[in-house]
Structure 1
Amino acid sequence: MTEFPSTSGLSPSAALGGFLQAQAKAAGLSTREIAQRFQKKAEREAKSPSGYIDSAVTPTSSMRFSKSHLDRLFKGTAKLPPKDFIRSFIEITSAAANLPIEHHKQIVAKAERLLAAAKSDQNSTPSVARVNEIDKGTEATVAVLQLRIELERTLHIESRLRWALSDAEFLITTLMRIVSTLRGIIQDLDASTMRAPHTERPSIEHQRQQAFKQKEAAESQISLTNARRTLLESLWDQAHANINRLSSHPDVAAISPLPDGAPLPQRLLPEVQIGPTLNDIASALDKAQEVNEMEGRQANEWREELTAPDSTYEDDEMRILLACTRLADADTRKTALRALIRSWPANVETRDALIKMIHDEFSDIAEMAVSGLIEIWNEDPKSLQATIQAATNGRPTVQLIAVSGLAKNWQGHVVARDALIDLTREGSPFLREISAQGLGLGWPGDSAVRKALLRLAADDQVWPTALDVLRDGWPDEVELRDTLITLSRKDNPAVRSAAASMLAGNWRRDSKARNALLTLLDDPELIVRWHTEGALNDHKFTDFTRLESLNFKDETNRPALIAARAPQNFNLSPPVEVVGELHRGVIFDSPVTIITGNNGTGKTLLLEALADSLRVTIPSRLKRYGTERDPREIQLSDGIELLWRRTLSPQECLFVEFPYVNREDAFRSPEAWSEKYSMVFIDGFGGYLSDTENRRFLEKAVEAASKDECQFIFTGTRSDFSVPSGVNIVHIGKRRRRLLF
């Protein structure tokens, strides 16, 4: 039996890292050598024909195997690698150690067990506890962040040193041109002295002495510049060595490189012009001396920064964290911001950092910043203005958090209300929709809000939300009734149907509402007439032609089930969101319909109620309830009203639980089902399929439904993949669950 190093007392991730480090040590390989062997393997794979590489195996080129990553992996702080990485790693170390095949297999098995344990531990640990170790707010956190600050500061100094060296080279070239010009002037003056009369020689000699002094001054400046260039080169070497040292540190190795962009701002080098006279040269030398003194002071400052320990943030954790919120690395900014919120929530500098970071280029940082402002600084005017700005200009997720915060934490505040009203006039449909919800939740009964929502009821994209909010907050307002009567004349049958349903609310004795409904009885769209019938029943008005007597023979090639609804007074206990959707009416008049929503919203409950109405056998019911049906499903089956084009026999229908469909047969199933059945109910769609496979399956269903006049009704928790045309999506609870409370 092979002996392995003990991993007791370690976290599962650290145990895996220690085990891999032990294998590397036994093989005599450093992390750099292992990284090089991974690289060679990736290059061999790239040169191999695609047919010789197993598509099920993760390509080496897509794995992380840098030296710094291996260092973190050994410490147990890196992201857990895929199983194929573990196998490649052990293959490298076993080959270097010349291990027999049986021993190699035992090591692989042990490593895979440790990996599985680490992943299990990671999945069972709350996400907050899995944040990078530098999120723990300890002294180690501050030390790591100081390292990162030092690294970025050194990168900036190194960049400025390169520019300073270039400036020094330019100045030396300029001074040498001055010296060369002065030599020519001195030679000309020597020749003039030989030819000039005695009376002019003193003046010429004076000029000659002046030229010699200027030449000595220029040569002195050249010596100073050369000395500064030597110092700059030494400092650049030191900065470069510091960068290499800091970058190779395991705790900061993951920092992203500084983004490419415009050079750092430099002090402008005064232009030195060489004129034809000694006075011009004197002026040029004065400027050269000024540049030398200025650049010399800057070089000495850089030398102090690179050689002296940084005391700016010494023993001041908050100073360090604030500085880190300005670094280039996103992970560091996020870590620093989280630590500030946790440790100094009420500090005004934390507030200012939050306001600044709501515009961060990374969404999760911006989301954390606006959430912090809302929760901690909800009585602060600057925080309110920053939150409004985030709602106006942020990304959709940031906008959602900001609007939710305005409605919850500034409830009743006039400035917040007016900001949301402004947002209902502009921006994306998503922003108009969540702003309408925020207004309804934060300012119920407010006349200005009511006016904005009535305007939104005519918005072609967000009218359902506007009507929902108006029904909840202003159920018996005459203005709402008049708006609904206007909407009952719109071209969109869905709008007319919604108007009919809502007119059945608090206007049951209202003659204008009843007259509008009687007019809708002659609507050309069947679904509108059906909703109108239900509304008139609520009005206790029975003197009209009922839909059961209508003839649908001209529509036999259309889907059998048209719609479902529940009376306004129908409810389940405990409440389920699907009932609210049924109060509004659910449309199924499409060959393929997907009912989506979060777990517990009642999707399967509705699907089983539809199947029960046709007496269709549901396979798993006996497993879940024995011989008894779910009481809520019985209530729903008895309470909902269904509109059919034609009724179907149980033999024409099929109920399928998608998770139990064989993956290999899945894409052949729609055609096979449609050939035999006219209605197929599919519960739990898409769980094990990729987005591409989900779309492909739906395309097969649409094709089969059109060919064989079959209707498919799915349930699933997701609808964010690309849905083909011809698919009707019913979102359970979507309109009422947008905001974050």
Structure 2
Amino acid sequence: MLMATLLQIIGTLRDIIADLDAKQIRALHSGLDPSITDRAESERIQALTHRVTAESQLARVNERRILLETLWEQAHNNVHRLSRHPDVSEIATLPAGPALPQREILTTELPTGPALTDIAAALGKAEEFNVAEDRRAREWQQNLVPAADLQPADEQAILLAATRLTDAASREAALDALTKNWTQSPETRDALVRLSIDNESEIRKTATRHLAQDWADDDTARQAVIAVTRDPDPKVQAVAVWVLTQAWRGDPAARDAVVALTLDDSEGTRETAAEGLVEGWPGDEKARDALLSLVHDHARPVREATLEVLLEGWPGDVVVRDTLLGLVRSDDIPIREVAADGLRVGWPGDASVTAAFLQLQNDDVLTIRWAAERRLNQEGIPLGKSLSRSAGSGSRRSLIQSKERVSSIDDRLLIASRVPYDFSTEKPIEAALALRRGIGFGSGINVILGGNGSGKTILLQALAVQVGAVSPDDIKRFRYSPQIVLQLARNLDLLWHQKPSAEECFYLNPESPERWRFARLEEALSEEKNYRLFLLDEPMGAFDTGMVHQLSGRINELAQQGCQFIIATTDIKRIKFTDGQFIRIGRRRIRERGSFLSW
């Protein structure tokens, strides 16, 4: 704006000077009063002086423009250096507009024929403005560009300072940038140690991961990661355990930190510790002894995880074998089941294990008898008293339970299901792995828990085919792996206490529209129907809270009246049951959960 005004003034003065020159020439040739010529000369000199002043002010503006453009280019280059880090997204874009301030300098337009006094006033304002703007430009020059372009060390210093900002997103962005370009800098390591106790869990996880990846030979980094194993967030704990097993595999201090987690109050943490010990310290006696204590854990998932890792990391270990042989005589049935299954798959040809299973083949617990039967079959030893089977239609078979082994007050319909131990599907499913060991069902409500893809729907559909609630032709129209469903149905062994007829079995298909599913389930649960076995896949769907309470209440009532429910779901929070048995299918090992760490 000022530059345009000054150019306008210079142009106007040029016209004034030309007019005054013409006036003087006319006065000389016409013989006018000399005073007129003198006044014209005086005004001409004044106009020339104003023009010099205006051109001087214009030069100052132009110099300041060049300076500001240089400063802008300097700042732009520095921002461009930082913007190469994709996560540093908080750096604002520099304005693309003019470098000079755009505000009006003169309050009014110059008149068409301005008096020289008006121009003098305008130039006075231009001088005041130029003085102020020159001072601001010098301050910017001193503050923004003390010496040269932003150097890499200065860039790192800025990012290190940003890791102390109160804004979590800025700290995380600075952390990501540091770990891309300054991985081996001691200052970066110190920042990672500090951020491993940040109040944001995602930042703690990222810092912990990079301490292990970039500083595996550094004792300070190792101690910081060991400290993170005591983090209050189980997910952060799991990251710390995983990176310890990878960066400090075999390290005694790291092992002791993971061993300490086997005593944690959290079931998930104890399970993580068990998996971590086999990842980082297989064959280690201290790790083995800590795991053997977890075989007695009150949480079945922890016991199962412990058994799995003991067999994986300590195959053939005599101490593990003797511990399991002692546990199969425990009064705690779930612990006996875990021990029997571990002995079944380990120590082939071991005489003491074979002798134990010869006794266990007549055990009162079905799953233990199953384990004994399979181990003795593997050894080629005839069964002294095997479970009898009766043929069903086609290739389907049913296990017949001896009367003396089922209590007279047992109101279960389906007691258990299993598949042959060598059963497999083209696409592996976690439900098939659980069925190899056998899945037991309780009376009333049974809830099968598992993530998407674990095989809950496939299991329920195979059961529905077995009991006659769904025909094989109907299954072929379903989208959930119909061929695997039919394969599983053909290989399922079902153990019944009271086997219902096909008309007494109800199956709810999760593929049906929500409104239709609610109406169909509501009808099936009504008093007019006589269903006894309900196979329900995600029965609560996306129903509202009122519908969920209504359906849950009716399911609870029917369970108390002797009906049996087998329900598959991924969301336990949506169901409101007063009592029931939970069956978990599949779990993600820590090595799978830690795969994102690029190890």
TM-score (norm 2): 0.65
Structure 1 position 718 matched with structure 2 position 556: no
Say which of 419, 422, 447 aligns to 2:257: 419
Matched-pair contact (CA < 8 Å) for 1:437–1:739 = no
Q: Aligned-pair distance for 1:685?
A: 4.1
Counterparts in 2 of 1:52-201, with a 5 A limit?
Answer: 136-137=86-87, 141-142=90-91
Matched-pair contact (CA < 8 Å) for 1:324–1:333 = yes
The aligned counterpart of 2:339 is 499
Structure 1 position 705 matched with structure 2 position 543: no
Say which of 192, 197, 214 aligns to 1:376: 214
Q: Aligned-pair distance for 1:390?
A: 0.8
Q: Aligned-pair distance for 1:452?
A: 2.4
Q: Aligned-pair distance for 1:398?
A: 0.3
How many angstroms apart in 2 are the aligned matches of 1:376 and 1:720?
40
The aligned counterpart of 1:677 is 531
Q: Aligned-pair distance for 1:311?
A: 8.6
* 1:677 aligned counterpart, secondary structure: coil
The aligned counterpart of 1:154 is none
What is the RMSD of the two structures over their aligned residues, measured on CA atoms?
3.8
Say which of 644, 648, 656 aligns to 2:496: 644
Q: Aligned-pair distance for 1:388?
A: 1.5
Say which of 532, 537, 544 aligns to 2:385: 544
How many angstroms apart in 1 are the aligned matches of 2:570 and 2:337?
27
Counterparts in 2 of 1:477-492, with a 5 A limit?
Answer: 477-492=317-332
Q: Using a 3 Å threshold, how does the CA distance of structure 1 residues 476 and 553 change in structure 2: closer, same or farther? A: closer
Q: Using a 3 Å threshold, how does the CA distance of structure 1 residues 666 and 450 change in structure 2: closer, same or farther? A: same
Q: Using a 3 Å threshold, how does the CA distance of structure 1 residues 344 and 553 change in structure 2: closer, same or farther? A: closer
Q: Unaligned regions of 5+ residues in structure 1, if any?
A: 1-132, 146-304
* 2:457 aligned counterpart, secondary structure: helix
Bigger mean CA deviation after superposition, 543-552 or 425-434: 543-552
* 1:672 aligned counterpart, secondary structure: coil
Q: Using a 3 Å threshold, how does the CA distance of structure 1 residues 310 and 675 change in structure 2: closer, same or farther? A: farther
Q: Aligned-pair distance for 1:531?
A: 4.4
Q: Using a 3 Å threshold, how does the CA distance of structure 1 residues 545 and 575 change in structure 2: closer, same or farther? A: closer
* 1:733 aligned counterpart, secondary structure: coil
Q: Aligned-pair distance for 1:735?
A: 5.9
Counterparts in 2 of 1:539-688, with a 5 A limit?
Answer: 539=379, 540-544=381-385, 546=387, 548=400, 550-551=402-403, 554-555=407-408, 558-617=411-470, 621-624=475-478, 630-660=482-512, 661-662=514-515, 665=519, 668=522, 671-672=525-526, 675-688=529-542
* 1:703 aligned counterpart, secondary structure: helix
How many angstroms apart in 2 are the aligned matches of 1:560 and 1:597?
23
The aligned counterpart of 1:451 is 289
Q: Say which one has the larger Rg.
A: 2
* 1:453 aligned counterpart, secondary structure: helix
Letter of the 2:324 counterpart: L
How many angstroms apart in 2 are the aligned matches of 1:375 and 1:674?
64
Q: Aligned-pair distance for 1:437?
A: 0.4
Matched-pair contact (CA < 8 Å) for 1:388–1:419 = yes
* 2:189 aligned counterpart, secondary structure: helix
* 2:230 aligned counterpart, secondary structure: helix
Q: Using a 3 Å threshold, how does the CA distance of structure 1 residues 365 and 134 change in structure 2: closer, same or farther? A: farther
Matched-pair contact (CA < 8 Å) for 1:497–1:532 = no
Give the percent of matched residue pairs that are identical in Structure 1 and Structure 2: 33
Q: Using a 3 Å threshold, how does the CA distance of structure 1 residues 450 and 583 change in structure 2: closer, same or farther? A: farther
How many angstroms apart in 1 are the aligned matches of 2:146 and 2:269?
44
Provide, for residues 346-378 of structure 1, a one-character-per-residue CA deviation record: whole Å limited to 9, x for no partner. Answer: 433222222211212222222232233333333
* 1:729 aligned counterpart, secondary structure: strand
Q: Using a 3 Å threshold, how does the CA distance of structure 1 residues 471 and 634 change in structure 2: closer, same or farther? A: farther
Matched-pair contact (CA < 8 Å) for 2:506–2:524 = no
Q: Aligned-pair distance for 1:457?
A: 1.6
Say which of 206, 223, 234 aligns to 1:396: 234
Counterparts in 2 of 1:506-521, with a 5 A limit?
Answer: 506-507=346-347, 509-521=349-361
Q: Using a 3 Å threshold, how does the CA distance of structure 1 residues 439 and 675 change in structure 2: closer, same or farther? A: same
Q: Aligned-pair distance for 1:550?
A: 0.7
Provide, for residues 645-697 of structure 1, a one-character-per-residue CA deviation record: whole Å limited to 9, x for no partner. Answer: 12232222122113524276477356228942121212244442468965764
Matched-pair contact (CA < 8 Å) for 1:527–1:562 = no
How many angstroms apart in 1 are the aligned matches of 2:269 and 2:319?
24
Structure 1 position 431 matched with structure 2 position 380: no
TM-score (norm 1): 0.53
Matched-pair contact (CA < 8 Å) for 1:616–1:654 = yes
How many angstroms apart in 2 are the aligned matches of 1:713 and 1:497?
22
Q: How many residues align structurally?
A: 446
Q: Using a 3 Å threshold, how does the CA distance of structure 1 residues 654 and 544 change in structure 2: closer, same or farther? A: same
How many angstroms apart in 2 are the aligned matches of 1:334 and 1:438?
27
Q: Unaligned regions of 5+ residues in structure 2, if any?
A: 1-82, 95-138, 389-399
Structure 1 position 359 matched with structure 2 position 192: no
Matched-pair contact (CA < 8 Å) for 2:361–2:369 = yes
Q: Aligned-pair distance for 1:733?
A: 1.6
Provide, for residues 238-258 of structure 1, a one-character-per-residue CA deviation record: whole Å limited to 9, x for no partner. Answer: xxxxxxxxxxxxxxxxxxxxx
The aligned counterpart of 1:333 is 171
Q: Aligned-pair distance for 1:468?
A: 1.2
How many angstroms apart in 1 are the aligned matches of 2:531 and 2:406?
20
* 2:462 aligned counterpart, secondary structure: helix
The aligned counterpart of 2:10 is none
Matched-pair contact (CA < 8 Å) for 2:552–2:575 = no
* 2:220 aligned counterpart, secondary structure: helix
Provide, for residues 602-658 of structure 1, a one-character-per-residue CA deviation record: whole Å limited to 9, x for no partner. Answer: 2222222222222331585232479xx844334323334322212232222122113
Letter of the 1:389 counterpart: A
The aligned counterpart of 1:295 is none
More helix by share: 1
Provide, for residues 689-714 of structure 1, a one-character-per-residue CA deviation record: whole Å limited to 9, x for no partner. Answer: 4689657644542322222x222222
Provide, for residues 420-454 of structure 1, a one-character-per-residue CA deviation record: whole Å limited to 9, x for no partner. Answer: 22322445332221011011123333333323222
* 2:525 aligned counterpart, secondary structure: helix
Structure 1 position 466 matched with structure 2 position 415: no
How many angstroms apart in 2 are the aligned matches of 1:481 and 1:541?
23
Q: Using a 3 Å threshold, how does the CA distance of structure 1 residues 549 and 333 change in structure 2: closer, same or farther? A: closer
Q: Using a 3 Å threshold, how does the CA distance of structure 1 residues 137 and 488 change in structure 2: closer, same or farther? A: closer
Matched-pair contact (CA < 8 Å) for 1:659–1:687 = no
Structure 1 position 730 matched with structure 2 position 583: yes
Letter of the 1:656 counterpart: L
* 1:411 aligned counterpart, secondary structure: coil
Q: Using a 3 Å threshold, how does the CA distance of structure 1 residues 571 and 510 change in structure 2: closer, same or farther? A: same
Q: Aligned-pair distance for 1:534?
A: 4.3
Counterparts in 2 of 1:306-321, with a 5 A limit?
Answer: 315=150, 316-321=154-159
The aligned counterpart of 1:441 is 279
How many angstroms apart in 1 are the aligned matches of 2:581 and 2:93?
53
Letter of the 1:465 counterpart: A
